Amino acid sequence: MSTDYEALLTQVTEAALDYMGGLDDRPVFPSPEAIRALQNLNEALPEDPRDPARVVALLNNVAAPATVASTGGRYFGFVIGGCLPAPLAANWLATVWDQNAGLWTCSPASAEIEAIACRWLLDLLDLPRDAAAGLVTGATMASFSSLAAARATLYKRQGWDVAEMGLRDAPALKIVAGEEIHGSLTKSIRLLGFGRNDIIWVPTDDNGALKADALPDLDENTLVLLQAGNINSGAFDPIAEVCERARDTGAWVHVDGAFGLWARVSATRRHLAEGMELADSWAVDGHKWLNVPYDSAAFFCRDAQATEEVLTMDGTYLVKNAKAREPSHFTPELSRRARGLEIWAAIKSLGRSGIEEMIDRTCDHARTFAEELSAAGFEVLNEVVLNQVSLHYKDDETTQAIVDAVQREGTCFLSPSTWKGKRTLRISVCSWATTDADVAATVAALIAASRRFG
C-alpha cells in the first residue's frame, strides 16, 4: 500500500497553522460542548482499515477544539510552558526519523546531539561540567533518577550494596525536607522504598522557603531534599547555606529546580539560586521554562560514576560503544524518544542571551500582574521573586468564584490553589508566547470578574 505522504503531511501542516492562527480567538480552556464531542471517538473497536488522511482529519476535527490552549500566550495554570518554534519543528523531524534514543547504536544522531544538549545545559545552568546528565520525561523522573543514585551512594558508605542486597534489612537513612517540597519528591521517595514517615520535615518561612536554622544535624547517612522555586511563591530554599552545612558531613543534597533552576541564566535573578552548584544532584524541566514540547526534563548528578552504576543496564545483545556516551546508562528507561533534539534546537535557536531574555521577560510579566492586580484590590500573598504570583480576593469563596468565572469566560486560564491556609488564584508565567497584550487582557478579565463578585 502506498501512502500519499505529501497530501497527509500537507493536511497536518495546514491544520497546525490553522490551530496556531486561531489561538487568540478561542477560549483557553475548551468548552463543555467540545469536551462532550470527544465521545464521538468513543466507538466500538474498528474492525477494518481506514485511509490515514481521514483518520487524521477526524482526530483534528474532534480533538483540536477540545485541547487546552496552553501553547498560546494566556495560559497561566500550574507551571506550564509553551513551545518555541525551533523545538516544535525539531520534534516533527524527530518523529519522522522515529529514532530510538536509548542506545548509541540505535541512533548515533540522537546520542551525539543529546550529549551536546546535556553539555550545553550544564554550561547554561552553571553546574559542574563533569556531572552525569540524563534526559527524562519530567522533573518527577529527574528527581527519581537522582535519588536512586543518592540512595545507592549513601548506602554504599554504610557498607550496604543495595543493588546486591536490596532494601530488606538495609540500614536507616535520614531524609530531610522542607515542609513545602513538591509532591513529586515524596512520590519519588515512596517509589524508592521509603515512606513518608522516613522524612524529617523542616518548617518554612512566610514565602515557603525552608528555615535553615531549623535544620536537624546532617551526617553521611542524610539525604536533603531542597527546592529551587516553590510552585506558589517561586521561593528558593537557602541552598547555599544548607550546602555549606552539608559539605563536610557527607550528606547528599538534591535540588528540585523544575522551573527555578532557570533563574541561574538570568543576571538579575541568579542571586536566588546562588550556591546551588554545591549540591549533589539537580532536577530541571525542559517542558516548563525552556519551552520545548512535552515531555522533557533533565537531571544532573555530581558523582557521574555512581549515577552510571545505578542506571546502567546489561544485556548480552547490547552493543557497547566504549568511546561514546551510552544514553541508557543515564536514564531509568531503555527505549525512548529523542527529546535531546528539541533541547538542542531550543538552545541553538535562542542562545544564552535569548534564554536569559525569555526568563527575564516572563518574570517581568509576573511582576506586572502583581502590581496591577494589587492596585485593583487583590491581595498578593507572596513575595514575587520569580514567575509565580499567588493572589487572594476578599475571602476563599470569592477567590474560588473568580477562578471559576475566569476559566469559564475563556480569556485566560489560571489555577486555584491553597497556600498558607488561604484559597488562592495562582498565576504562573512560563511561556515564551506571552505578550504585554496578553498580560493586559488577563488583568482586565480578572478585574472584571472581581467586580462581579466583589
- Residues near ligand PLP (CB under 6 A): 79, 138-140, 182, 184, 229, 231, 256, 258-259, 285, 297
CB of 77 to ligand PLP, least distance (A): 12
Cβ atoms < 10 Å from Cβ of 453: 15
What are the C-alpha distances in Å from 94 to residues 117, 299, 338, 372, 385? 15, 22, 7, 42, 37
Which residue is closest to ligand PLP by CB? 138
Three-state DSSP at 427 gives: strand
**Strand ranges (E), 14-53:** none
Nearer to ligand PLP, 155 or 282 (CB): 282
CB 110 within 8 A of CB 340: yes
Strands 252-256 and 281-285: parallel
User: What is d(CA 70, CA 113) in angstroms, rounded to the nearest whole number?
Assistant: 28
Q: Residue 420 CB, nearest distance to ligand PLP (Å)?
A: 17
Please report how close the Cβ of residue 287 comes to ligand PLP at its closest, in angstroms.
6
- Work out the number of other CB atoms within 10 angstroms of the CB of residue 436: 12
Of residues 36 and 196, the one with the C-beta less far from ligand PLP = 196
Report the candidate in 311, 318, 314, 339 with the shortest Cα–Cα distance to residue 132: 311
Nearest to 415 by CA among 209, 231, 206, 182: 231
Nearer to ligand PLP, 261 or 401 (CB): 261
Provide, rounded to whole angstroms, the least separation between the CB of residue 328 and ligand PLP.
20
Which of 187, 320 has the CB closer to ligand PLP? 187
CB of 181 to ligand PLP, least distance (A): 8
87 or 138: CB nearest ligand PLP? 138
Q: Which is nearer to ligand PLP, 285 or 303 (CB)?
A: 285
Which residue, 103 or 185, has its beta carbon nearer to ligand PLP?
A: 185
Q: Which amino acid is at 243?
A: C
Q: Which residues, including other chains, have CB under 8 Å from residue 99's CB and lie 6 or more apart?
A: 106, 107, 109, 110, 337, 338
Grid coordinates given for 69: 490552549
Q: How many angstroms separate the CA atoms of 224 and 208, rounded?
A: 16
182 or 254, CB closer to ligand PLP? 182
Q: Is 221 or 388 the residue whose CB approaches ligand PLP more closely?
A: 388
Our separate counts of H helices and E strands in the chain read 13, 11
As measured in angstroms, the least distance from the Cβ of 450 to ligand PLP is 27
Sequence-separated (6 or more) residues with CB below 8 Å from residue 140: 184, 187, 188
Contact 223, 151 (CB under 8 A): yes
- Round to whole Å and give the CA distance between 201 and 180: 9
Q: Which is nearer to ligand PLP, 80 or 176 (CB)?
A: 80
The minimum distance between CB 344 and ligand PLP, in angstroms, equals: 19
CB of 140 to ligand PLP, least distance (A): 3
Please give the grid coordinates belonging to residue 366. Answer: 509576573
Per DSSP, the residues of 109-152 read HHHHHHHHHHHHHHHHTT--TTSEEEEESSHHHHHHHHHHHHHH
The CB-of-423 to ligand PLP minimum distance in angstroms stands at 20
Shortest reach from residue 346's CB to ligand PLP, in Å: 16
